[in-house]
Amino acid sequence: EEQGYVGVMIDDLVTRELTEPYRLLTSRAEYRLLLRQDNADLRLTPLGHEVGLVARERYEAVEEKRQAIAAELDQLKKSHISQSGYSVNALEFLRRPEVSYRTLVSLGCGSPELRNDAAEQVEIDVKYEGYIKRQSAEVARMGRLEAKHIPEGFDYDGITGLRYEARQKLNRLRPATLGQASRIDGVTPADVAILMVHLERGWK
């Protein structure tokens, strides 16, 4: 679900009790800051190429764009702009709401030849860096939970401390991983923590 909205839909259908027709809205995506329209090619082209749906030429073009973005971000880290007698780091300057990447170019910083879509990506990556990092850290945490498999026939009724509502939902939906369990309505972070302790102890 951190890679695309189809993943969000499938995860919702598997882990949530739906009582009305399902509509896929952006608000359903927990990681919607990462699922932006501007980075769809960077997110999905490698996956499409891996399964044979994207031609090599298209894949190489996207990878070239990825490298151009990374190179430009690296260059901006090392660059400075003179403002009112002070030297300001180019990345910090670009973080200002009123400053765009093209503003940097007009001040003699940045790369005039950088494609518009790559320049837009550089600007977004810089301005939203803190939010993106926090969401990426949450994705990594969820990845660790997804790696924790729950054995078939796991005895939720025998777990002391698990709330009644959580026990009911877990028994009914039978999630395959802790990650799936954590996304079930009615299962709290405290319930997940208790489950993790029991799984790590090897209790079934």
The per-residue pLDDT string of the chain (204 residues; one tens digit each, 9 = 90 and over) reads: 667 888 888 878 877 777 778 787 777 777 788 888 899 999 999 999 999 999 999 999 999 999 999 999 999 999 999 877 889 999 999 999 999 999 999 998 989 999 999 999 999 999 999 999 998 998 888 888 888 999 998 999 989 889 999 999 999 989 999 988 988 888 898 899 899 888 887 654
Ramachandran category for residue 121: left, alpha or beta (phi over 0 → left; psi -120 to 50 → alpha): alpha
CA distance from start to end of the chain: 28
What is d(CA 10, CA 126) in angstroms, rounded to the nearest whole number?
A: 31
119 closest CA partner among 88, 155, 94, 156: 94
Q: Closest Cα to residue 142, out of 183, 173, 187?
A: 183
Q: How far is CA 65 from CA 39, 69, 178, in A?
A: 11, 6, 36
Choose one of 96, 127, 158: the last residue of a domain: 127
Q: What is the CATH number of the domain that holds 159?
A: 1.10.150.570
Classify the C-alpha dihedral 22-189-159-1 as positive or negative. positive
CA-CA distance, 151 to 131, in Å (whole number)?
Answer: 35
Same-domain pairing of 38 and 123: yes
Name the residue range of residue 114's domain: 34-127
pLDDT at 50: 95
